[in-house]
Amino acid sequence: MDVDELGLYDFVQLVRTRRRTLGWTIAATTIMALLIGIFSRPVYLAETVLAPLSTGGVDGQGIEGLGSSLGGIASLVGLGGKNGASDIEQNIAVLRSRALADHFINQYQLAVVLFADRWDKGEGRWKKGLPNPIMDRVSRLLDSLSGDTVHVRPSDGAPTPDEIYRAFDKVRSVDRQEKSGLVTLGMKWHDPIVAATWASEYVTAANDYVRAQKISEAQRSLTYLEDQIQKTSLTEMHTALYKLVESETKQSMVANVREEFAFRIIDPATAPERRVSPKRVVLLGIGLMGGFMLGLGIILVQNYFSVMRIARRG
């Protein structure tokens, strides 16, 4: 038959005559998919639901809010005005930030966990040499072609800070629900207990990180305000400055006392029982469909060469 005139009926007959090829292809891809699902390391997702809290100060006002309400008096000493984003939005940004991620990674020494295959437990150091010289050269070539900066790997085989962050960013997920405003923090890892522990500890680290920032800001503000009080003799100015001092003092007290400072845990993280990947049912479906499509392709290619051979003989 002419390869250009292969109709639906001819195609069905062709598949029927070469059904063994199709069957073997489907069996091979299905078995391969099942082996991937069986031998791949499972990944578990531990999630905790958080309620973002206002950290702008008592009654929802910090030094900016109170300074703004005092109008011209506060502006004379360089205070007042509104933030571009609310403190809640800023705290959620901190939860997603690289700064907090790097702090958490360093605090719990997660680099050796994220790159366990490059860490020598017996020697207590990074394995010397590149983990994959071929991929490293390919990566360097792609960086040079794209104009990106070519990073020089440490000679001791340690991962670069950017590698560590990108690896952790694949583990961490932060999603906010638009209607309720609640935040879902997720951690993916091969051990469900470790994933749940990281999720809980990351919330603690976020609260401590924001708390430290607020206390530091309050201390700087108090130092500035006390200096301004010493410099001015106006009664109205003194009254305004003392109100600002009171606000910052309360802010510092709240930061020191309130344990869940930036985020309140609504639903704590627990060790999940079901994996999120690999999904064996999905892999099975991919194996079956992929094998079917690949088998049809092989049959068509075989038929093409068969027709070409017959045409040459004739």
111-120, 197-206, 250-259: range with lowest mean pLDDT: 250-259
- How far apart are the C-alpha atoms of 297 and 16, rounded to whole Å? 14
Q: pLDDT above 90 covers what percent of the chain?
A: 35
With vertex at residue 90, the alpha carbon angle to CA 166 and CA 70, rounded to the nearest 5 degrees, is: 160
pLDDT in tens, 109-165: 999 999 999 988 888 888 876 555 666 666 666 666 666 555 555 556 789 999 999
Higher pLDDT, 1 or 211: 211
Cα distance between residue 287 and residue 284, in whole Å: 5
**pLDDT tier at 171 (50, 70, 90 boundaries)?**
very high
Distance CA 266, CA 183 (A): 10
The 3-state DSSP composition of the chain as helix, strand, coil percent (nearest 5) reads: 65, 10, 25
C-beta contacts of 124-129 below 8 A and 24+ residues apart: 125/156, 126/154, 126/156, 126/157, 126/158, 127/157, 128/155, 128/156, 128/157, 129/157
- For 88-108, the pLDDT digits (tens) are 899 999 999 999 999 999 999
Compute the mean pLDDT over every residue in the chain, rounded to the nearest whole number.
80
What pLDDT score was predicted for residue 161?
Answer: 93
Contact call for residues 210 and 261 (beta carbons, < 8 A): yes
Position 192 pLDDT exceeds 90: yes
Residues linked to residue 174 through DSSP beta bridges, in sequence order: 185
Residue 184 is predicted with a pLDDT of: 96
Distances in Å between the alpha carbon of 34 and those of 24, 44, 89, 275, 292?
Answer: 15, 19, 44, 16, 16
Q: How many CB atoms lie within 10 A of CB 210?
A: 22
What does the DSSP 8-state code read for residue 129? S
pLDDT tens-place string over residues 11-65: 788 888 888 988 999 999 999 988 888 888 899 999 999 999 887 654 444 444 4
Token representation of residue 34: 């099942």
Q: Identify any residues that bridge with 52 across adjacent strands, giving them in sequence order.
A: 263
Q: What is the per-residue burial (b if ≥16 Cβ within 10 Å, else e) of 157-194?
A: bbbeeebbbebbeebbebeeeeeeeebbbbbbbebbee
Contact in structure between 206 and 118 (CB atoms under 8 Å): no
**pLDDT confidence of residue 206:** 95
